[in-house]
């Protein structure tokens, strides 16, 4: 017993010693504050309702204001404008009993008012500085307008493009996704959360949300733990290692228990294994939805969430309603409620809100720092790095700034769809359409003719569903033949046709799953008619997900995938079309040939019957009707110049223990213009105690080269890069043979086999 006590004292001393003076100060402050709080006030901190927008001045009279005064609210989200937020904060800190400031959250996903390309596009830049900068600017703008908490980054690995939310993340790869998660957290939070231009970041949706069965949103997920740890967990963990201040639970179930009520996920993994110390918030009605999942009544599910480790209840209001009862029945401890409350108060403390509740309410800054010319200029410059040139026959692109160009398609002259999904704070009507961008960039030397050519889709009800949140494409009521004829008439007068086609902005994002991954039929008919004219056609492809484009890949001379490029989209696309900028994005999610191949991803396992050789082979793993190949693989993307890779050079091929392996390759720009190349490193663990993927991304470098310039790109590999979770879920590396691969995309690599012993 004595020894045990001694151990306890030592442990306590150590943990006190491990605390920084700043942490100790925070703990003392929060402890003192919590001593004054009633149970009801503590539960109030756990309550995060969404506030529909209201007019300035209404705040103090609203129902919400009464709740704030009574200490029933810990934070709010979905209010826009510094004046309104200031009003609401004033109610909290001047009329609330304990004057506790509120958190103000928002989905600032890819920019605030200055909108950057959608996250899937940003990931295609493979440029971590650029991504971090986009998050930095988003934080500068949001914080200037009163927001101190963003529900970003979304790091769900997604390998099923039917799932509309693939647009919000970084694609299919855990390694790349982890790098991006870190960059974004740093971008939002900076190195000091209490500065007035840094905000609390929230990594979401923990966990596995990207693996919804059949790509249908909110659907069931089910996977082995070994897959979770190796393929789906890494980006969440990377965000936590980078110091993210909050985590959002996902809607889906994990191992048969909804994530929101899953103690293994929320406490054993997140808190105990990964040492996450910040606040854990449910997703929107994530707690009450557990009733629909079949987990029990309101009391039961609230208890489940609280016991699992959820600290804050987004929208359900179940914690505040149910916990007094649950506590009185002894089904939850006060210590757990205290812990949840403490984490929310700590977040507020770290943001500096107790010191100055109006820290993020500088009306002056809101006037200068939001949607500024400087930020918009940066957004325009970033976008070309996210564009993926999928095809460019005979160097059709870039276009000359002369002659006549026919610009056609339902996305050619539309501002509202340029920003893409989750652009809550965007000024949609101030985004730059492709037509406006082309006019300005080409100037008077180009004759630009325009025709709509088609609607988004023949089915007007589909078009309604795909045009929500003020993002309608404004349907043209004329018959389809008339629309196509008009486009052909314009095409007949032109030297080249630019077809702006694809998805509308709201065809991806939340609750925007599709079973068909092609360009809608109305637009495909238009495209076929345009191609038939024999004039050169450039397809400017708008999309928030990988699409199936087999016909287009074969028949359209040039395809420039521009995703949704943000508020400056039109300028940025025009810059690239006319060669003032060049595209340098590479895919981060595989483009399938056919939707039936989904899920399709490069880091697949070999199976016992791999297809070695040409398709089709009976009794090998393949399809009767479509080959196993993707249409465009992970890591693929062209530019306006070409690159040549020299042979790989390795510092050794027989290694031992913690030795360092360097792998280098000379890359030369063999074209006539400057360009950027993403040099990719993959590793295959040839034999393992568990099956290992055919290759896994383990490094990448984006380089810029002038014509003829040669650069040596070097990667450093240690046993760390060889590690994986084995069947005991231990993170280990196993000695033996490894294939080291370097190349321009996941299916264009050179490889050398090495042997690495312990």
Instruction: List residues near ligand BGC by CB under 6 A.
Output: 107, 151, 204, 283-284, 510
Query: In the bound complex, which residue of the shown chain has the CB atom lying closest to ligand BGC?
Result: 151
Q: Is the dihedral of CA 612, 613, 616, 617 positive or negative?
A: negative
> What is the layout of strands, in order, in the sheet containing 149-150?
75-77, 103-106, 149-150, 200-206, 246-249, 279-281
E-strand stretches of 601-650? 643-645, 649-650
- In degrees and rounded to multiples of 5, residue 545 shows phi and psi of -150, 165
Our CB check for ligand BGC shows the closer of 260 and 746 to be 260
Our CB check for ligand BGC shows the closer of 116 and 284 to be 284
> What is the layout of strands, in order, in the sheet containing 696-705?
654-656, 748-757, 736-745, 675-685, 696-705
Q: Count CB-CB contacts under 10 A for residue 32.
A: 9
Our CB check for ligand BGC shows the closer of 107 and 311 to be 107
Question: In the numeric block, which tokens belong to residue 661?
Answer: 């392996």
Mind giving me the DSSP string for 5-74? HHHHHHHHHHHHHHS-HHHHHHHHHHHHHHHH--HHHHHHHTEE-B-----TT-GGGSHHHHHHHTT--S
Our CB check for ligand BGC shows the closer of 220 and 485 to be 220
Our CB check for ligand BGC shows the closer of 102 and 527 to be 102
Which residues, in sequence order, are CB contacts of 682 under 8 Å at separation 6+? 695, 696, 697, 698, 740, 741, 742, 743, 746, 749
Catalytic residue among 283, 311, 413, 457: 283
**Smallest distance from ligand BGC to CB 173, Å:** 21
Our CB check for ligand BGC shows the closer of 151 and 602 to be 151
**Smallest distance from ligand BGC to CB 286, Å:** 8
Return the SS3 of 756.
strand
Report how far residue 507's alpha carbon sits from residue 7's, in angstroms, rounded to the nearest whole number: 59
Q: Count CB-CB contacts under 10 A for residue 377.
A: 13
567 within 8 A of 418, measured Cβ to Cβ = yes
**Smallest distance from ligand BGC to CB 616, Å:** 41
**Smallest distance from ligand BGC to CB 345, Å:** 22
* Beta-sheet pairing, 149-150 with 103-106: parallel
Report how far residue 65's alpha carbon sits from residue 60's, in angstroms, rounded to the nearest whole number: 5
**Smallest distance from ligand BGC to CB 147, Å:** 13
**Smallest distance from ligand BGC to CB 428, Å:** 18
Our CB check for ligand BGC shows the closer of 42 and 204 to be 204
**Smallest distance from ligand BGC to CB 250, Å:** 8
Q: Count CB-CB contacts under 10 A for residue 749.
A: 19
Is the link from the previous residue into 153 a cis peptide, with omega within 30 of 0? yes
**Smallest distance from ligand BGC to CB 204, Å:** 6
Report how far residue 290's alpha carbon sits from residue 302's, in angstroms, rounded to the nearest whole number: 9
Question: In the numeric block, which tokens belong to residue 125?
Answer: 């830049």
Our CB check for ligand BGC shows the closer of 108 and 655 to be 108
283 is catalytic: yes
Q: Is the dihedral of CA 46, 52, 57, 63 positive or negative?
A: negative
Is the link from the previous residue into 207 a cis peptide, with omega within 30 of 0? yes
Report how far residue 696's alpha carbon sits from residue 693's, in angstroms, rounded to the nearest whole number: 7
The residues annotated as belonging to the active site are: 283
């Amino acid at each position: 017993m004595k020894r045990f006590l001694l151990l306890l004292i030592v442990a306590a001393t150590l943990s006190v010693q491990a605390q920084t003076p700043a942490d100790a100060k925070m703990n003392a402050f929060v402890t003192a504050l919590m001593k004054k709080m009633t149970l009801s006030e503590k539960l109030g901190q756990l309550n995060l309702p969404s506030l529909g927008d209201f007019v300035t001045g209404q705040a103090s009279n609203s129902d919400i204001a009464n709740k704030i005064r009574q200490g029933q609210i810990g934070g709010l989200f979905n209010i826009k404008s510094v004046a309104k937020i200031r009003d609401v904060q004033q109610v909290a800190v001047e009329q609330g009993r304990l004057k506790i400031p509120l958190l103000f959250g928002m989905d600032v996903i890819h920019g605030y008012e200055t909108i950057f390309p959608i996250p899937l596009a940003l990931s295609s830049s493979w440029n971590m500085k650029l991504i971090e900068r986009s998050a930095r600017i988003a934080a500068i703008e949001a914080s200037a307008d009163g927001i101190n908490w963003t529900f970003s980054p979304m790091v769900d690995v997604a390998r099923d493009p039917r799932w509309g939310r693939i647009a919000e993340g970084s694609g299919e790869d855990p390694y790349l996704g982890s790098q991006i998660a870190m960059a974004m957290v740093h971008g939002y939070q900076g190195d000091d959360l209490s500065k007035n231009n840094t905000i609390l970041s929230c990594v979401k949706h923990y966990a596995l949300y990207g693996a919804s069965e059949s790509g249908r949103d909110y659907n069931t997920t089910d996977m082995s733990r070994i897959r979770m740890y190796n393929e789906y967990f890494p980006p969440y963990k990377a965000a936590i290692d980078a110091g993210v201040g909050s985590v959002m639970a996902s809607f889906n179930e994990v191992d048969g228990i909804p994530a929101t009520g899953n103690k293994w996920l929320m406490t054993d993994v997140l808190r105990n294994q990964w040492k996450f110390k910040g606040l854990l918030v449910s997703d929107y009605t994530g707690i009450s939805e557990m009733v629909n999942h079949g987990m029990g009544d309101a009391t039961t599910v609230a208890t489940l969430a609280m016991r699992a480790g959820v600290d804050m209840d987004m929208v359900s209001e179940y914690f505040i309603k149910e916990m007094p009862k649950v506590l009185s029945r002894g089904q939850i401890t006060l210590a757990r409620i205290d812990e949840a409350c403490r984490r929310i108060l700590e977040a507020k403390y770290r943001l500096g809100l107790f010191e100055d509740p109006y820290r993020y309410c500088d009306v002056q800054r809101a006037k200068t720092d939001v949607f500024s010319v400087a930020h918009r200029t940066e957004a325009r410059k970033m976008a070309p790095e996210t564009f993926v040139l999928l095809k460019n026959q005979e160097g059709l692109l870039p276009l000359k700034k002369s002659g006549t160009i026919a610009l056609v398609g339902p996305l050619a002259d539309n501002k509202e769809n340029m920003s893409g999904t989750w652009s809550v704070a965007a000024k949609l009507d101030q985004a730059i359409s492709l037509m406006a961008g082309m006019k300005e960039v080409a100037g008077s030397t180009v004759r630009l003719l325009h025709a709509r050519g088609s609607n988004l889709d023949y089915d007007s009800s589909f078009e309604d569903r795909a045009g929500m949140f003020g993002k309608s494409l404004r349907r043209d009521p004329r018959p389809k033949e008339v629309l196509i004829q008009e486009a052909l008439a314009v095409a007949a007068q032109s030297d080249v046709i630019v077809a702006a086609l694809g998805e509308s902005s709201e065809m991806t994002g939340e609750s925007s799953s599709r079973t068909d991954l092609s360009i809608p039929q109305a637009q495909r008919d238009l495209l076929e008619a345009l191609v038939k004219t024999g004039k050169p056609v450039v397809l400017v492809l708008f999309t928030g997900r990988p699409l199936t484009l087999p016909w287009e890949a074969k028949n359209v001379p040039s395809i420039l995938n521009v995703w949704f490029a943000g508020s400056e989209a039109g300028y940025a696309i025009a810059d690239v079309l006319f060669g003032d900028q060049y595209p340098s994005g590479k895919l981060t999610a595989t483009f399938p040939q056919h939707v039936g191949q989904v899920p399709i991803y490069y880091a697949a396992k070999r199976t016992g019957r791999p297809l070695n050789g040409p398709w089709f082979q009976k009794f090998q793993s393949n399809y009767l009707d479509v080959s196993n190949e993707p249409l465009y693989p992970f890591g693929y993307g062209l530019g306006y110049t070409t690159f040549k890779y020299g042979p790989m050079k390795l510092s050794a091929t027989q290694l031992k223990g913690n030795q360092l392996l360097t792998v280098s390759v000379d890359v030369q720009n063999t074209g006539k213009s400057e360009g950027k190349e993403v040099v990719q490193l993959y590793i295959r663990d040839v034999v393992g105690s568990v099956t290992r993927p055919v290759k896994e991304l383990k490094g990448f470098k984006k380089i810029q080269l002038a014509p003829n310039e040669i650069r040596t790109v070097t990667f450093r590999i240690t046993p760390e890069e060889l590690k994986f979770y084995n069947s005991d879920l231990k993170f280990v590396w196993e000695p033996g043979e490894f294939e080291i691969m370097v190349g321009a995309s996941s299916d264009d690599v050179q490889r050398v086999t090495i042997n690495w012993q312990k």
